[in-house]
Structure 1
Amino acid sequence: MGAKHMLSSMFKGLLAILIFIVISSIVLSLILRFTSATEQSLKWVTLALSLISMFAGGFLTGKKAQVKGWMLGAGTSLMFSMLVFLVQYLGYQTTFNSMQYLHHGLFMLLCMIGGIMGVNFSSHSTYKK
């Protein structure tokens, strides 16, 4: 398994995460706009959607790579966290706070679990007896 293939798998997982987050953001902003819901009332929904997107991105990474799901899931999560950090630091001149470190740690854990499950659900995993 080449490094190029693994990196390609991680970028596909990252792209899936970003697409899922953009779609979720649009739906949540429409809910906020056209209902009486507040940002505070959707706080847990936002976190749940973030966790689902990280798991799905890790799953896709593992499924595409078919090897080393935990490592590639962690790499995908690190790429996402680095992207968020760069946007936050360069755009808003702030760094992560303790709650964000906790969230990104949880993101990494779920992305790694998704990667492991993605490898196990990939089509290559047939055992001969």
Structure 2
Amino acid sequence: MKKFLVINLLFLLVSFNSFAQKEAKIIEIEGKEVAKTRGENPNIKTDFVCNPVDVEVEKPSATRGSTCTINIDNYTGYDIKVYVDGDFYGWVHPWDEGGVTVYGGYTTVYCITAGGTYEWSASGNCDDYFTFKLRKGNSD
């Protein structure tokens, strides 16, 4: 009888664990060429600074543990800068992938090649795990 109970308990634990795991949402985004004549980019609030001064930011408000993981799959030969809600969050190297974790509820993800040739953008409300597959456009 104990053996039967232990086996059933293990079965329930394994079933619950596989049910609780979520699949990643994969979103393919095709890039578009950036216009050469435009001024400041409205999608960027804070940019990467090579030698920044120390500026302390305020502690974020309580989020009850809600986070969002954004994975970027770079299917191009370019270095790509990643911005979430206009703030710089990191780089993704050519033919590589990388991810950032932010507090849940982002509204925009904006990616641009380091030289400003191609850009990608998406919007939504993230409280989960997303993968954005970045491609140059119809040519690849």
Please state which band the TM-score falls in when normalised by the shorter chain.
under 0.3
Higher fraction of strand: 2
